Structure 1
């Protein structure tokens, strides 16, 4: 019994040590995120317009969930926006003085990836999930109709 307690205590110490190392490793990432959050001027008009645009696309995706053509058009629009993100980042990096107080557009495109491509990818995923859900419902409806048809054929043969 004493061996079991010693083993459990050593395991608990190992878990506690690992948790401490994880906390110490995550601390710089959290500090970087907080620094980034405070460095961005969230009241810039172009940034607010970007958020309104993203919200409008999300709302459109939700409201048109039963309209296949609108969902398809929305997904094509989102994929085109993602495809041209690198070119858009380069253009905005060269012309940031005309619309912004500071340059958010680094050569790697991190800012634009997070605030432009990220939401577009989420909206595209919503459209794909909605399409899969619709297809599953359609398959179930088709199978039920097929089973009803087979049942009618069996009934007609019995009569």
Structure 2
């Protein structure tokens, strides 16, 4: 028993040391990474009253509503997904083009070389919409699988009933 108590004490000390290390790492990380403040600064730098930004956000909202309302329309969702994937794929080219021509429609130069703005306000919402579509596809596919399995079971039951009926009729003829 004394040996087990010593082992438990050693294990407890090791666990305490690990927790202290974890707490220390979190403290260090919270000092270095100020993600929330960076996001607030990004949001504050954008003029949310610009008509094209409002239009862009409205388009994202409209796409999301279309995806949700017409989730059983495979063709429409395929067009939306391919279009969104094309925009995300070509985001760098779009960013370069819009960066060169932003004075025609924007009050500020939003389109930097790193593509942070287009990634945050164009690509990320489109990727989110495609994720919603993917989840919707998985749900619809699982429902279809259940329906097909039910139909298969009913079909096999009908086949079995027909076979039993044929055997019964054959038995009556033989007797």
Mapped to 2, the partners of 1:114 and 1:40 lie a distance apart of 11
Structure 2 counterpart of 1:125: 131
Structure 2 counterpart of 1:67: 73
TM-score under structure 1 normalisation?
Answer: 0.86
Assess, with a 3 A threshold, how the Cα gap between structure 1 residues 139 and 8 changes in structure 2: closer, same or farther. Answer: closer
Mapped to 2, the partners of 1:49 and 1:77 lie a distance apart of 18
Superposed CA RMSD: 2.1
In structure 1, runs of 5+ residues without a counterpart are: none
| Match of residue 111, structure 1, among 107, 117, 135 | 117
TM-score under structure 2 normalisation?
Answer: 0.79
Map Cα deviations across residues 31-87 of structure 1 (whole Å, 9 max, x no partner). 322222221111111111111111111111111112121111211221222233222
Matched residue of 2:95: which SS?
helix
Matched residue of 1:107: which SS?
coil
Map Cα deviations across residues 120-143 of structure 1 (whole Å, 9 max, x no partner). 111112222212221221121111
Give the alignment of 1:10-159 within 5 angstroms.
10-27=17-34, 29-159=35-165
Assess, with a 3 A threshold, how the Cα gap between structure 1 residues 70 and 6 changes in structure 2: closer, same or farther. Answer: closer
Worse overlay, 92-101 or 79-88: 79-88
Mapped to 2, the partners of 1:82 and 1:54 lie a distance apart of 13
Mapped to 2, the partners of 1:8 and 1:133 lie a distance apart of 42
Task: Give the aligned length.
Answer: 158
**Largest Rg, 1 or 2:** 2
Assess, with a 3 A threshold, how the Cα gap between structure 1 residues 10 and 105 changes in structure 2: closer, same or farther. Answer: same
